[in-house]
């Protein structure tokens, strides 16, 4: 959490968000009024935040990781526009997104160009996700995979693995991090492209797939920037 | 800056780093011993940090943005290996990288899949940078461009613009952010793929180039995640 995120609570009257994320910040928010909603109710949640702001309240909308990376910032701006109040003051507080947090637990896999891809096909056609993965692999980007699995999507990460094996070595290092820096002890494993889908992967996991340059150095996964020692 | 980064100074004896970055954290480090080196002396700096750690000192190596994104984490691990002491305890503290910081100033351009590319060709062949840019554009990734210009590289961002115009609309929103969240007031402009290289761009600038879905909503640059309002 950033220093700014830890301090913003002093300036707001209402804290809104998905209940699981509210719980993560509960130690900081004291006795503020809380407006929580369930999962997959992002639009309702933002419309409520906009309504509260239109009434003159100062509202913090909680988003996990970085609100600006697959987070709530975009839909909130769209809802401000919908309500005809795009001029209401808005501060987006950046944070440590899952790719950064996972990388710090693995070593230094993101020292060079990388692509961030979500496997969630709720709002994106699966064919586009596959196309992006293939092109990023052809470009030898390190890949940071968000939402690798959910209850309803178990086979897609396997499809991604097979696609990448057409382009990258089976020995390519793959880092798997669960609950990166959420307060719990993160579960960190370094595997290979050949093997990694045999390990436990779920919604709270971030998968980082190395480029052709990525290697394992001691307990770390590193993509060298190219310095010659 | 994260809460963890602000507190780590209490636990170290020596602070090392490039002098410009040391200056950014000087308010926090008090009377610690400082070991600063000049720009482009990354290897010497890391070897010195390793030497100090081998002597039993607790050393903080300062890196701007996120140490794990084009930062010092990778070369430090390589230097630990070089010195045969990969088992010295190491904590990599993730941070807010320039892409995240710039995105927060622009609105919400990174709500969907994105690629991060550095235009610095000091350690990477320019042809590979161009290839990656082309493939990322074909994959309709939002692009976050690091090191868009330096004194020695003025024309490359123009070459990138021309390449992208073959694939994306000239009206594609492009966000330009200088000194994102470094304490100074950031300079933030939203332009278009057609026009953006006419604006001032330098080493301290991050450029975010929209995908086919990115749009301008009021004062914000937004890549909708796909919610239907």
Reference A53, options A35, A65, A69; nearest CA is A35
**Per-residue pLDDT reduced to its tens digit, A62-108:** 998 899 999 999 999 999 999 999 999 999 999 999 999 999 999 99
The 3-state DSSP class for residue A75 equals: helix
**Rg of chain B (C-alpha set):** 19
CA dist A212 to A72, A195, B159, Å?
A: 34, 17, 26
All residues at 6 or more sequence positions from B144 whose CB lies less than 8 Å from its CB, including other chains: B98, B99, B102, B103, B110, B114, B115, B116, B117, B206, B207, B208
Name the pLDDT band for B179 (thresholds 50, 70, 90): confident
Length of chain B: 229
pLDDT at position A179, please?
Answer: 82
The 3-state DSSP class for residue B188 equals: strand
Which residues are bridge partners to B146 per DSSP? Answer: B118
Is A59 or A1 the better-scoring residue by pLDDT? Answer: A59
8 Å CB contact between A90 and A76: yes
Decide: residue A87, CB within 10 A, 0-12 exposed, 13-18 middle, 19+ buried: exposed
In chain B, whose CA is at the least distance from the CA of A145? B113
* pTM of the model as a whole: 0.95
Instruction: Find the mean pLDDT for residues B172-187.
Output: 84
In chain A, whose CA is at the least distance from the CA of B95? A96
CA dist B180 to A197, A208, B100, B209, Å?
A: 38, 26, 9, 16
- Measure CB to CB from residue B131 to each of A96, A139, A218 and give the nearest one: A139
**Per-residue pLDDT reduced to its tens digit, A115-139:** 999 999 988 999 999 999 999 999 9
Q: How far is B116 from chain A (nearest CA, A)?
A: 5
Q: What percent of chain B has pLDDT over 70?
A: 97
* Cα–Cα dist B90/B72, whole Å: 12
Within 28-57 of B, beta carbons closer than 8 Å to A belong to 42-43
Within 147-206 of B, beta carbons closer than 8 Å to A belong to 181
User: Is the model's pLDDT at B101 over the cut of 90?
Assistant: yes
User: Is the model's pLDDT at B229 over the cut of 80?
Assistant: yes
Provide the mean pLDDT of chain B: 93
Which residues are bridge partners to B188 per DSSP? Answer: B177
The H or E element spanning position A27 is helix A19-29
pLDDT at position B99, please?
Answer: 96
Within 124-153 of A, beta carbons closer than 8 Å to B belong to 124, 128-129, 131-132, 135-136, 138-141
Is the sign of the CA dihedral A130, A133, A137, A143 positive or negative? negative
SS in 3 state form for chain B?
A: CEHHHHHHHHHCCEEEEEHHHHHHHHHHHCCCEEEEECCCCHHHHHHHHHHHHHCCCCEEECCCCCCCCCCCHHHHHHHHHHCCCCCCCCCCCCCCCHHHHHHHHHEECCCCCEEEEECCCCCCCHHHHHHHHHHHHHCCCEEEEECCCECCECCHHHHHHHHHHCCCCCCCEEEEEECCCCCCCCEEEEEECCCHHHCCCCCCEEEEECCCCCEEECCEEECCCCCCC
pLDDT at position B182, please?
Answer: 66
In chain A, whose CA is at the least distance from the CA of B90? A107
Provide the mean pLDDT of chain A: 93
- Judged by CB atoms closer than 8 Å, whether chains meet at B141 and A132 is answered as yes
Token match 């699966």: residue? A126
pLDDT at position B228, please?
Answer: 84
pLDDT at position A69, please?
Answer: 96
pLDDT at position A181, please?
Answer: 65
């Amino acid at each position: 959490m950033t220093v700014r995120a830890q301090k913003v609570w002093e300036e707001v009257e209402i804290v809104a968000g998905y209940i699981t994320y509210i719980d993560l910040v509960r130690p900081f928010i004291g006795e503020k009024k809380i407006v929580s909603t369930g999962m997959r109710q992002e639009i309702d949640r933002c419309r409520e935040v906009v309504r509260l702001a239109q009434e003159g309240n100062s509202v913090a909308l909680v988003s996990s990781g970085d609100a600006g990376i697959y987070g709530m910032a975009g839909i909130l701006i769209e809802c401000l526009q919908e309500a005809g109040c795009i001029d209401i003051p808005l501060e987006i507080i950046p944070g440590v997104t899952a790719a950064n947090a996972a990388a710090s637990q693995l070593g230094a896999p993101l020292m060079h160009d990388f692509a961030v891809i979500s496997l969630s096909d709720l709002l994106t056609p699966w064919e586009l996700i596959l196309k992006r993965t293939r092109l990023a692999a052809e470009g030898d980007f390190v890949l940071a995979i968000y939402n690798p699995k959910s209850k309803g999507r178990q086979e897609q990460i396997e499809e991604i693995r097979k696609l990448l094996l057409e382009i990258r070595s089976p020995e390519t290092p793959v880092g798997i991090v669960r609950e990166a820096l959420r307060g719990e002890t993160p579960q960190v494993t370094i595997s290979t492209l050949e093997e990694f889908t045999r390990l436990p992967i779920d919604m709270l996991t971030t998968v980082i797939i190395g480029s052709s340059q990525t290697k394992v150095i001691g307990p770390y996964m590193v993509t060298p920037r190219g310095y010659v020692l």
